[in-house]
Structure 1
Amino acid sequence: MLRAEFLRFLQTLNTVGIPNEVRKIANLVLANLDAIEPLGTNQGQRVKRVVALAQTNWDSLSSEIQPLPEQNTELVSSISRLKSLSVGPFRGFSRQEDFDLDARLVLIYGPNGTGKSSFCEALEYKLLGSVAEAESKRFRNQNEYFKNAHVNDFTMPEVIGVGDQGQEVSIESNEALYRFCFVEKNRIDNFSRIAALAPSRQTELISTLFGLDLFNDFVRNFTAEIDSKYIDLTGIKAAQLKDKRLTLSGANQQLEANNAELQKLVSEEQTLATQYREGITFQQMIIEIKGDEQNNGIIQKLEAELQTPIGNKSSLTYIALQEVSGLIISNLTELNTKQQQLAAVSQQVSFKNLYNAIVQLQPDSPEHCPACHTQLTQTQINPYTHANEELVKLEFLATLQESMSQLEQKIIQLMQTVSQIISTCCHCLPQRNILESYLTPSGGTLWNALQQQLQDGSTPWQHLESQVKLLEESDKKIDETAQIREAKQIALGKLRELDRKIIVLQTRRNTAQQVIESAQQLINSFYTKNMQLIADVALEDAIVRKNCLISGSYSRFVATLNAYKERLPQQLVANLGDNVVTLYNAFNRNDLPREKLSTIKLPLIQNQRLEVSFQNNPEQYFDALHVLSEGHVRCIGLAILLAKNINERCPLLIFDDPVNAIDDDHRESIRRTLFEDVFFAEKQIILACHGEEFFKDIHNLLPAQVAAQSRSFSFLPRLDESHIRVDFNCSPRNYIIAARGHFERNEIREALAKSRQSLESLMKTKVWRYVNRYGDGNLSLKLRSYTSPIELRNLSEQIKKQINKADFSDPNKNEVFSPIDALLGLNGDSREWRYLNKGTHEENDRAEFDRATVSTMISALENLDQAIAG
């Protein structure tokens, strides 16, 4: 199964997009499958083996995927059934045994350990080319598994089939064609344990159900990738060189960074030059601003110009001088006027002074006259009161005197200003300045002196005015020069800022060039010292490239293989849903609608669960593991396998004890599904079981005619011999056939015993069910006591009565009614019927049974069996 499934996987690699190297890895694994499969991930056993094989054989590996050897599951089988099997030596068979399988139904019975599995494995090996049990036990050479231990020999089993035209056909192994013909108990058991697994593992149960658990294990044991622990992906010498190159990492980084810095500087330099003046280069700008050996730059020129002093301003203006002159003249005029006014009232001024003196004496002599010391109470006029009253009258004199005092102060201040102007003129115009003689006088004296006429006919004031005008003009020139100087200073500041930026850029360039030169020297020295190692790395590179190709191809191969494994469940159960539901409901045909399935969702991807809905509410889904018993889960597993067998149109259905994995409640319905329903009517069924009751029930479920045409083998318990013991002519388990055989051998008592069993089986199962289908299955039975069994005659009479009713709906009811009527036509009190009712204990000297009556009974039972089967 493992090899076959891996071969099917290989076919998926023949698609566009799959590199040839991945196909090489796949062919490598296929060629060494037996050696690789037992190895797991522990200590990297498998990946180490793959690496060793790949490195040794890589150049000779083929990238062509060979097609499957005529294995196409879509082809319809060219056989209709198996005819014979010759087996031995093989497993438990120490010598050859020949089995006649030429029947639609082949039944094999035998207790555990009698050799049934050897029989089934012989069919499996011949049809499929391998045996799953041998693979699971990890026999690298399966021939060792097939050898009989006692004769130490093994012969390939021979299977002959019957073709579509009835011709004999030699069966060749074809796993793809026959893989779904086999249904095994262990797979159903594993499926029933689905509840114990995590949801992430439940999808694998679908693969397990189809015998692919070994393939799943095989895929899981591939590590995801081949890392440097198992294969050299970098090169030893390359690693050494890489380690040494680490010493160059700083130099390379510096080289790269500073080359980038130089490129950046070119842009920044040109940007700075453009900011200075459009169309000029950086170097031209430097020469123009800073100069060179022949010429001074603009900065030097401006600095020289700005170092020349521009002189001090006098800050004198003719207008200001005229304002001062006007103020002086007006104040002098006003002062003169007030002096004249004061002179006119000079006597009043004396009285004012007198009155002030009296008022000032009042604090010293408040009670006496200040002049005569007379008591004030004795004077005609109080001198103090009279003085205050007269001072009030003379208050305008105080105001006049105050005003004259203020005018004098203003004149003094104005003359000080004139003196300062004279001083400024003398300072600014020092050479033989006529005004130097007027630096000392002040006040009115200075003013009068300035108005005096000089020998040249002018006055000093006129000289002062002339010099102020001259200095005012000089100040204007100084202002103009200052403005020009300020503009030059601003321009110089800008040029100095440009110069600073130029210096920064030049410094950065010099630094970058120095770093580049130093780094390049270090790199050149490295390559000189490691020239041989670099040459060795170049030679090693081819091996490393191949190793990297192997590693990458392996990772892609493993990923593709895992993806294939994950898709397998979905592929295996595609289009099975309806058939699974139909078969499951057939297995549970006696359940209520709320217990029968409407839909089933199988877990196809990770973390999905097995979900079902029921007929009473098809839209509501349940977790099957929560709502179904283990027996029902087993039924689902069996239904999936059988549905796959139907969908694949397999000609065979081979059971290795699987039905015994089903609980007792479902066995009858499963037998009916297999042998009564139409699902498998055209298939050959080969069934091996270890339960004698199950073996017997199958025989009696079948019509006697069909059972007679089947093949039955009984595997017997081993005695002392090493060979499997087979009873090729085992006694029939079908009661009617057994009854007829005993009758023909004149074993009347035994014939009657089998007839009783046959009648009980027919009436309680087939006929009663038939009545229930076409009429009223509710019978009224009389029992002798609560412990008494149902008497078959009473049961038969009740069934006959129901069939004979006019409303019984089966138009062919007479075919069933007549045999029952014939049976009941016999005397119910006869010893034969008493035997049929309850059997007979062992008695001595008992009268003989009537042969003719027993013959009539057997014939009636045969007719009834045939009628109910039709």
Structure 2
Amino acid sequence: MTESGPTVEQSLTEVVWDLLDADSGLDEQSKYAVIAALESGGALREQIDGTAAPVERPSASDAEVVEPLGAYLKSITVAGFRGIGPRATLEVSPYPGITVISGRNGSGKSSFAEGLEFALTGESYRWRNKRAKMWADSWRNLHQGNPCEVRVEFAVPGAKVTTAGVDWADGADLAGSETWTQVAGAKRQPGTSSLGWSNALDIYRPLLTYDEIGGLLDQEPSKLYDALATLLGLEEIQDAEKRLADLLSERKQPRAVATNALRDLKVTLQGAGDARAVDAAKLLKKRQPDLDAVTALVSGADSPQTILVAKLRAIAEISVPDLDDVVSATTTLRQRESKALELADQALDAAEHRSTLLRQALSYRDIVDDEQCPVCGVGVLDDGWKQHTRDFLASEDQRLSDYRTAQAELKQARAAAEALLSGLAGVAPIDGVQLPSLGAYSAAVADARARPSDVALADHADQVMPMVAEASAELQAEATAAAEALEDAWAPIAAKINGWLSLEHTARSSDDVVARLDAAKKWVTANANVLRNQRMQPIADRAREIWSQLRQESNVDISSITLQGARTHRKAVLEGSVDGQPAAALTVMSQGELHALALALFIPRATAQASPFRFIVLDDPIQAMDPAKIDGFISVLRTLAENRQVIVFSHDDRLAASIRQLGVPAQLLEVTRETGSSITVKTAENPAKRYANDAFALVADEHVGDDIKRRAAPGLFRLALESAAQQVFYAKRAAAGQPHDESEVEWELHKKTNQRVALAVHGDAKADIAAWRSYRKHRFPALSISNRGSHGDIASLSKDDVGDLHKTVNDILAEL
């Protein structure tokens, strides 16, 4: 496997910029929309609405290079939490390398891993799927649950140690914890946000438990898709696509509403009898209706129907004299005629001549005083005559004035009466409109205008005007009804057209935006597969490379790992072959193979170069692995440990034993649990030395009878010697490139201790070890007890015998 390099060389935005720059078919505005959608919904909205400047691609010189923090795990301290009662600390080497923490089930080792997970994430994958009340209530240690706390120390090269802590008050539930972080020498900061790892934990999750290993592939394909998509940054493209789709849907609403309104309007127009509705329907048949023409039609200034309504309204508003006014006019006329008749024309003429003559006489009298009348010669034109004549003339002038006034008033009254008749409005017929009273009205008007010569004007007016008024009222009512009928039929149609016009104007104002959004969304959708494949390829290559080491004797090969679909149809697809025959990989794998594959998929994600975590923690990863896969797993760990701190929790000794057998440098720790959930962490003993120590404890125990010691101790001698021999044999074979399964077969073929020691020393079970055995004096006794003890042939055992065992075990291990 190659050294863990950058998994993703470019940010997703940079990759998208490259694709956009290479696409000449997408307009610039739509490209800006794609980039803005990658940023946020607000940025997209501002870009589309024109309230933000067009986005520009940052130059390489402007890009800020942020190096990962490179945090290593230094220690985990737990108290009162899960299987740990009194405070216990697990210290690990905060550098690249392998650390294996072994412990039997229930020893408390996984409580350290769970404490670390909870301190970083605030939850536990194992508990997440355990809904029973017992799981909710069993997180606090039963023996000593107070204080209840977790402390995790992180070492960052060149910086001070940072501690992440979790505290639970007495009586608090699991969710009631208080979290904090603290840099050595500084004040505590509440929460864990100061670490800046929230997103990184989702993307590069450095923790993987046995439950999670199983769950990664046991769940529906969308879960694996999500995990890989998060690592690859594909959530950003999914989010961008969703933002574009959401805004596109929103901005499409005006067009959808306008389209629905137009559909309803066309149905309405089809059933309308109004000529304007027919014209409107013709205008709306066009793919892009002329809104100005439609508006002009609705306003109706020049339409035939509007002109028709105007004519009817004019008829409805024609002016006909009120009958009271007619009666008043004719009464006045008659009065004027009567007064004028009182003064005859002849009397008026005589009065005028007499007045003229008398005025001349007065003029003459003014010249000649008291002279007889020059006309008759009888009277005398004296002062009395003069005064009398003047009084008479004044009276005559008044009568003449009254007469003239009466004549003027008579003329005025006659003109007023004639105006009533001559001012009657004529009404022409209207094409297409039936007005039943129009004929009667026209006839009445004609009669009014044609006064017979033998009929007095006042009498004529009194006779014809009531008929004109009656016909006019009927005609006006008919015209009003006809106009209202036309208007009532058109008004709702016009209102509906106006409503659609308003919606269409709004829709057209957003059509360009919709087109840009639609183009941007289609581009993102079309290029999602390209982005997925491009960004998935390095991960897939590393996963397949890791799988090739983990698979060992598996006949399943992985040919491709792809992400397919989107949203509810998203899935991760693993294609492979079985014995060279194509097959869906997941369907033919055993549980152990599935776990190995889950590790192959998890490791590239957890060890990406951009991850701030320089550690990876695996809890019980080999539980379902056979020995061959354990060797492959160790090979993977060895490569990872070149630049990563690899911490593995294991419930048995197989991993530690294999590491010893393969001679892999590692820190081996052992967790044991004592009464009251008291946990002890110590450097793990070599199994062979542990068996030797067990033998010493047995022999040194005064409470155990000699007969029991003679029967039990030889078995421990044999286990110690064979364990040491097995480690050496397997390590030598591995170094020589021999497959693990062949080493197992060879080992199992030879059951005797001497044969197995021969395998370790000479690589051949048939080789003579007599020389080796006699080279040092302690070797023969140890081997003799191992061989003879199983038959009960030992007389006694002493501490010295166990000392010989220790030395012999060390000699065998020294063969490496």
**TM-score band w.r.t. shorter chain:** 0.3 to 0.5
TM-score (norm 1): 0.43
TM-score (norm 2): 0.45
